[in-house]
Amino acid sequence: MSIVVRKIGIDLGTANTLVFVPNKGVVVDEPSVVAVSVAENKVLAVGDEAKEMLGRTPDTIMAYKPLRDGVIADYRVTEAMLKYFIRKVTGRVFFLRPEVMISIPAGITSTERRAVVDAAEKAGAKRVYVVKEPILAMIGAGIKIHGAQGNMIINIGGGTSEIAVISLGGVVSSHSARVGGNKFDQAIADYIKRKYSLAIGERMAEKIKIKIGSAIVQTKEDRMNIRGRDLMGGLPKTIVISSNEITEALQDELREVINSVKKVLQETPPELSADIMDKGTVLSGGGALLRNLDQLITKTIGVPCYVADDPLRCVVRGSGKVLDNLDVYKKTILASKK
């Protein structure tokens, strides 16, 4: 006998989508990728299965990410993806539509926000709540947001970096930069193409970032063999790359993140700035896993920076906590659309 799922929290990310169900925890953690047949315009695969197809599809199939920079780039495909994830959790109980909470970037426009709500409703939600990512990330990191003290979060996802100062349950100052894990991957691929005339795919770039990527120069370097296509001869080729080269490749993207952090701090009232100096800032999201990023931020802005526990799941864990205490949060952070 299946358990009826009445509430679902969704971290709808550019790179990955995570789904939280109260009393069960995170039940889905899959890539935000959809494979579509070109001729019939029909969805063939979603999530893990679709990601396996990236860079490997024939002309008749397209595998791509329907979200770009944290917002919907392809409405129909996003709706199909949401429907897949909601059905995966609820089964095929059509008459009991769940309440759904979805994270959105802090810098989202009203049109982009409406697109998220509409897509979720058409995918099977009875009621849709949308909450800004930095707030959910802070709640998921275990920080109390309703006190009269300033707390700062830097949430680096696949498409955006969300930086916010939160006090008394609301966002005091924030900035949403369209730079994240995907731009990191692209920067690595571009660097290797420029320096070695070697073309690599986005999956290989991501592997390099995870295995040897670092935000600051290392005294003892890590090295990695990578394979790609030689742009001069067109044949497969293997090269060895070092972690300090990856640091060099990521300089522009890291600078953009740091500048966004500085911008938010410059807009923060002095009393809250003093709180942040005392308590430091919290780093969450998949980008927080880049080695030594917390050290780079601490060194550059002069404010202690700490990586949250399980940073990848902060946003979706936050959605779970809010779902468990809807009455507490309804008046402060929630906006709903029937």
Q: Identify the domain boundary among 206, 230, 247.
A: 247
The answer to whether residues 117 and 20 belong to one domain is yes
pLDDT of residue 87: 85
List, for residues 107-155, the tens digit of each pLDDT value. 788 888 898 899 889 888 888 888 888 999 999 999 988 888 889 999 9
235 and 306 share one domain: no
The pTM assigned to this predicted structure is 0.88
Looking at the fold, whether 16 and 77 belong to one and the same domain comes out as yes
Alpha helix positions (H), 91-132: 110-122
Q: Is residue 287 one of the residues assigned to a domain?
A: yes
Distances from the Cα of 235 to the Cα of 198, 226, 227, angstroms: 10, 14, 11
Number of domains in the chain: 3
Q: Please check whether residues 193 and 333 belong to one and the same domain.
A: no
Domain that holds residue 295: 141-179+251-311
CATH of the domain at 192: 3.90.640.10
Q: Apex CA 208: angle with CA 207 and CA 212, to 5°?
A: 120
- Of residues 259 and 14, which shows the higher confidence score? 259
Looking at the domain assignment, is residue 328 inside a domain?
yes
- Shared domain check, 20 and 96: yes
CB atoms within 10 A of CB 41: 10
CATH number of the domain to which 159 belongs: 3.30.420.40
Percent of the chain with pLDDT over 90: 50
Shared-domain flag, residues 146 and 199: no
Task: For residues 111 and 22, state if they share a domain.
Answer: yes
Q: What is the pLDDT of residue 155?
A: 94
Q: What would the pLDDT profile of 267-292 be if each residue is shown by its tens digit?
A: 999 999 999 999 999 999 999 999 99
Residue after which a domain boundary falls, among 198, 225, 247:
247
Q: What is the pLDDT of residues 180-196, one digit of tens each?
A: 999 999 999 999 999 99
User: What is the spatial distance between Cα 278 and Cα 272, in angstroms, rounded to a whole number?
Assistant: 10
Tens of pLDDT, residue by residue over 160-169, are: 899 999 988 8
d(CA 316, CA 270): 31
Residue 5's pLDDT band, with cuts at 50, 70 and 90, is low
Question: Dihedrals φ, ψ of 71, to 5°?
Answer: -125, 165
